[in-house]
């Protein structure tokens, strides 16, 4: 399983919180790339409910990661 920003961004508007099955259904209905569906299928699932993409890909960068310190400019 591998995630990229482009692949993970396909799940930003998913109906969080969601189960693995709900995320797969969302990815299929929205026409996400096959890699997204394959990545979701590879998740070891014990009936967990995921609150956000960070629960699936902990290294997912947040918007805060891209902001500069405005007072420096």
pTM over 0.85? The answer is no
| C-alpha–C-alpha distance, residues 67 and 27, integer Å | 29
Answer whether residue 69 shows pLDDT above 60. Answer: no
Q: Which residues contact 14 (CB under 8 A, 6 or more apart)?
A: 22, 23, 26, 27, 53
Q: Give residue 21's pLDDT band: very low, low, confident or very high (50, 70, 90).
A: very high
Average pLDDT over residues 1-26: 92
The pLDDT value given to residue 66:
55
Examine the pLDDT at 41 and tell me if it is beyond 60: yes
d(CA 73, CA 69): 8
């Amino acid at each position: 399983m591998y995630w990229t920003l482009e692949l993970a961004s396909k799940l930003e508007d998913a109906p969080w919180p969601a189960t693995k099955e709900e995320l797969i259904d969302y990815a299929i209905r929205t026409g996400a790339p096959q890699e997204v569906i394959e990545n979701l299928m590879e998740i070891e699932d014990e009936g967990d409910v995921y609150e956000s993409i960070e629960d699936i890909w902990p290294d997912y960068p947040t918007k805060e990661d891209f902001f500069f310190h405005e007072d420096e400019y």
